[in-house]
Every structure is written in C-alpha cells, then in structure tokens.
Structure 1
Amino acid sequence: MENNNKKSVKDEIKRIFSLSEDSASNEEIRSRLLDGGKITGTNMCVLVCAMVIASVGLNVSSTAVIIGAMLISPLMGSILASAYAAIASDYPLLRKHLLGFAMQIVISVTAATIYFLLSPVKEPTVELLARTSPAFFDVLIAFFGGLAGIIGQTRQDKTSTVIPGVAIATALMPPLCTCGYAIANARFDMLLGAGYLFLINCYFIFMSAGIILSVLKIPKMRELTPKEWKRRRFRMIVNTIIIILPSIAAVYTMI
C-alpha cells in the first residue's frame, strides 16, 4: 500500500511537470521557431529601431526605455531557430540561421556605434557600465530565461506572455549597444566585458532551448550514432566550461 502511494505521488509530480502534455505539435513547433528566426526586411528595420532606442536608453540611463527596446527586438528568435536546427541535425538550416544571426549582430553593433558617434553624451552611464562586468549570476539568468522562452514557444497556448518576460530577463540588446558605445569611444575594456555578457546570453539560451527540444523529442533529419552523440556531448561540456569559468572568477572578485 505504501509503495502504491509513493508511486502515485511520483506519477503526479511527473504529470505536473510534464512538458509533453501541454506542448504543441512538432509541425507547429517547427513553424513557430523557424518563422521567428527568419531574416526579413521588416525584422531588420525593427532591429535597427530597437537598437537605437536601447542605445538612447543606455545613454541617458533610462531603464524604462531599455526595456521597451528589448520587447520589440527580434534577436532571440534567431537563437531559438538555430537551437531547433541543431537538435534536428539539420545542418544546412543551422548554417542559414547562424549566418542570419551573425548578420543581425553586425547590423546591431553598427547601428549602436553610429548612434554613439553622433551622441553628445560621451561619459559612460551606470546602465552602460552595468553591462561590462558579467558574473555567474548572468549565466543563471540566461539559462533559466532560455528555458522559459523555449517552453513558452512550444506550448499549445499561443497567448503566452513568457517571451516578453524573457526578452527583459535575458537582455540580449543592451550588451550589443554597449559594444557599439565601446567602439565609438575607443573603450575596448568595456567592449570585452559587454561582448562576453552577450556571449553568455546567446550560448546559454541556445543550450537551454536545445535541452527542452531534446526532451520533447522533435524529429531529426537523421539519427546520430553513439559515437557522434558522445562527441557532441563532450564538445558541449568543454564549451560550457570555457564560457562559464570567467564568470565564476568574477563572482569571487565581487566577494
């Protein structure tokens, strides 16, 4: 009797935290993620507008303006689309979305650099400086923000408010704007810190999205051999350690 009770409690916990019960179909998930990662003229125009708005917010130290810019930014869609392509073992699609994401980064930094070159305010504000000292806490924010984002995108319910919240939490745009400020004002010490923060956000959003998509067992173009899986896991562990180590060191310098 006691074993049956333990089993029922365990089953109930599994049911409560089940992702597959409320997930959309594989076709719907694929469509949502890949559509969100498309590089279109409209997205690029919105991206430039968002970068200028975020740059102004950082330049005048206005948190409300920065949040507004993050809500309209299309950057996160490219990361989720790339994660889908990687888990689906669709490498041509992965290259396509990674190239598109690289193009978005170049356009974003260029727009921010032009703004800060023209801006009369040259001194770094508190908001700008806050994006130049990433620590392990930023890793946690990016990872769990990515989890929330991909779960929100794979739900049956299309009215989810998770994505705007994730946009605020993971803050992909401010680090890129700070990179633009650093280039415009030859502050390469700030460029290094802001670039590292952006890398943390991108990598851990990508990784957390990949984990959830693997759990949901999305269809693959081809199944990997055990040797290929082992090599992929090893590469992911090594990359994670390399990226995370400086952030851990930063925490200890704060203590």
Structure 2
Amino acid sequence: MSLKVLEIIAPRSETDAIEAVTAAPEIVDWWRTPPLEDERFSTHIMVTPEHVQTTLDGLQKILDRCAGARIIIHSIETTLPQIEAKTPAEDQKPSHDASLSREELFEAVDRSGRITQTYLLLTALSAIVAAIGMIENSVAAVIGAMVIAPLLGPNLALALGTTLGDIDLSRRAILANLAGLGLAIGLAFIISFLVEPHTSAQLLERTEISYGALILALASGAAAVLSLSTGAAAGLVGVMVAVALMPPAVALGLFLGWGDTTHAAQTALLLLINVTAINLSAKLVLVLRGVSPRRWPEKSRAKQSSRWSFAFWGISFFITIALIYLAKH
C-alpha cells in the first residue's frame, strides 16, 4: 500500500489545531520534530493516498489564518513494518482508488500545460518525424513521433482548469494547445513544398471519418485523467492522446500545402472530433472523481465554469456526431 506523509510547518500556537487533524481515524501515524530556529514546529502525518485530500483540506484551514505555515507532501516507497489495509465499515462510503490530491494534480498539469521552449521543440520534432513517417508510409516513424509529442499536458490542464474554475490555468492550456497544433500544422505545410504531392496508407488513414475514431478519442481522454490521478503509466497514455492529435494535424498541413482541399477537410474534421472527445471525456472523469475547489467562492466559480465547459464540449460533441453521419452518407 503506497503511503504519503504530509509535513506541516506551523507556529506553536497551531499545535492543538494540528493534533485535532491527527486524531482522525484515517491517520496511520504522526510525529513531531523539535522546534525549529524560528520556533515553528514540523509535524509529519502519515496517511493513505485515498485520504490525502481530506487531511489536506483540514490542514489548509491552518494556512488560511497563519501566514507562517507551510505544507509539504512526501511520497513514500515503503515503510516497515508494513501497514495493513483496513477493511471499510459497512456504512462507510467506498473511496476512489489511490489518487493524487487536488494540489498534486494542479502542480503536475500546470508544469506540462505551459508554452515552453522544450514544449515547442518536442512538438516541432514530433511533427517533422510524423510528416516524414506518413510521407514514407513508415509506421515505426509515426509511432516514434507519438512517443515524443507533448500534447497530453495542455489537454489535461484545460480539463482541470475548467473543473477548478481556474481562468489562468485554462487560458494557458488553450494557448499551449493552439500553439502546439498550430506549430505542427505549420511545419507540415512547409514540408509539403519539399516533396511531391502523393498519398500513402498512413496519410489516407487520417482521412477516414468514423465513430471508431470518436470512441478512441473518448477513451484516450478518460485514460489520460485516470493515469495522471492514480499515478499510472502516464507516458503510455500520452502516446495514446498524441496518436489522436498529432497525425491528423500533420496530415492537415501536408494536404493544405498540396492544395488537396478534400482530404484536408477530412483530416480537419478528424482533428476536431478528437480534440472534442478527448476534452469532454477528460472533463467528465475529473468531475466524476470529485475533483473540486475547497473554498465555497471557488466552488461557485468552478460550477459555473464546468457548466460552460460541458455546454461547449457537449454541443461540439453532438455536432461532430452529425458531421460523422454526413461524412459517411
């Protein structure tokens, strides 16, 4: 069982408040170090991952009234003797699987959802490799491009930003998504002038509009959130998301450069379908897992943000279904 230690550094006046949090039944163990040089105490609280958020919410009430307090989250590989998992009581609501806290989720997606030099460089390299792979009909090259494509972070950041009502996070995520996809399309457009127009199996595959593509994108978005929140193999799921986004974007740029408007329209539709489905399912999973702000004013803003987000992606989803139907008939 993976455990976490929440370390809170606070003045002596907060001793009773911290001990009240440690009295909760979900606390595995806790200890306090001698006072620091500035007379603050460091208290370590060991807790199971599924109870990290509840414990953090209790400790953050101390941060609200104490400017000198700080909370640090430590991950533990193992502890001896091993902690046996407790059997939940019959009237106790089942908790989610071991997952990251709201704060850990924010920290993870905030780093990967920004426009940075590394993000742009990896996107550019991925787009170039994907373009060459599709032109040469090389499946291995296309897969390699997906491995380095950093498109997972901005989409998760957008889903989390709208779930928490964080306007700044949502804005950065939207800009990062636009920059990444725009860069991929632009580079593919330039590459199209260096090669003769032609179609390969890899390129034609990105012009096929089907409900299967929609289902794949829905699964990608849901798997991305689950992998991030549970600490699973996010890298592999990132490849799954990149498969749904990078090849259509690159194919769109190539077809536009070659003047093939019919295939360009088809790849643009596939890209729209994938973007919509990934964001809708990612947003839905976050809400179902109970991710929300702690304070009431933030909760109110998050609810409003979620309504607008669900409305936008929901309408877009039904539009894409209609477009798929029209494309197939």
Say whether the fold is shared (TM-score over 0.5): yes
Comparing 236-245 and 68-77, the one that deviates more:
236-245
Tell me how far 1:230 sits from its aligned partner. 6.1
**Contact 1:132–1:190 at 8 Å: present in 2 too?**
yes
Instruction: Please name the residue that 2:217 is paired with.
Output: 142
Code of the aligned partner of 1:143:
L
Tell me how far 1:106 sits from its aligned partner. 1.6
Instruction: Please name the residue that 2:272 is paired with.
Output: 199
**Contact 2:193–2:257 at 8 Å: present in 1 too?**
yes
Q: Distance in 1 between matches of 2:148 and 2:245?
A: 12
- Is 2:256 the partner of 1:180? no
Q: Distance in 2 between matches of 1:26 and 1:225?
A: 13
Out of 230, 235, 240, the position equivalent to 1:166 is 240
Identity of aligned residues (%): 24
Greater RCO between the two (CA within 8 Å, min separation 6)? 1
Out of 72, 79, 102, the position equivalent to 2:148 is 72
Q: Distance in 2 between matches of 1:42 and 1:78?
A: 13
- Partner deviation per Cα, 1:19-57 (whole Å, 9 max, x = no partner): x22211111111112212121101111110110000000
Gaps of at least 5 residues in structure 2 are 1-89
**Contact 2:99–2:231 at 8 Å: present in 1 too?**
yes
Q: Distance in 1 between matches of 2:161 and 2:201?
A: 38
Code of the aligned partner of 2:314:
I
- Number of residue pairs matched by the alignment: 234
Q: Distance in 1 between matches of 2:179 and 2:186?
A: 11
CA change 1:231–1:49 in 2 (3 A) is closer
Tell me how far 1:167 sits from its aligned partner. 3.6
**1:71-220 equivalent positions in 2, closer than 5 A:** 71-119=147-195, 121-157=196-232, 162-167=236-241, 170-220=243-293
Instruction: Please name the residue that 2:105 is paired with.
Output: 29
- Partner deviation per Cα, 1:202-239 (whole Å, 9 max, x = no partner): 11111111111112222333425988876665544332
- Partner deviation per Cα, 1:61-108 (whole Å, 9 max, x = no partner): 111110110111011211111111011111232122212211222211
Out of 235, 243, 246, the position equivalent to 2:320 is 243
**Contact 1:71–1:167 at 8 Å: present in 2 too?**
no
CA change 1:81–1:233 in 2 (3 A) is closer
Gaps of at least 5 residues in structure 1 are 1-10
* Structure 2 residue matching 1:118: 3-state secondary structure: coil
TM-score (norm 2): 0.65
CA change 1:233–1:156 in 2 (3 A) is closer
Tell me how far 1:133 sits from its aligned partner. 2.2
* Structure 1 residue matching 2:230: 3-state secondary structure: coil
Instruction: Please name the residue that 1:40 is paired with.
Output: 116
Comparing 51-60 and 69-78, the one that deviates more:
69-78
TM-score (norm 1): 0.82
Across the aligned residues of Structure 1 and Structure 2, the Cα RMSD in angstroms comes to 2.4
Question: Which structure dedicates a bigger proportion of its chain to strand?
Answer: 2
**Contact 1:70–1:172 at 8 Å: present in 2 too?**
no
Question: Which structure dedicates a bigger proportion of its chain to helix?
Answer: 1
Q: Distance in 2 between matches of 1:138 and 1:205?
A: 11
Q: Distance in 1 between matches of 2:203 and 2:154?
A: 25
Q: Which has the larger radius of gyration?
A: 2
Instruction: Please name the residue that 1:3 is paired with.
Output: none
Q: Distance in 1 between matches of 2:121 and 2:230?
A: 28
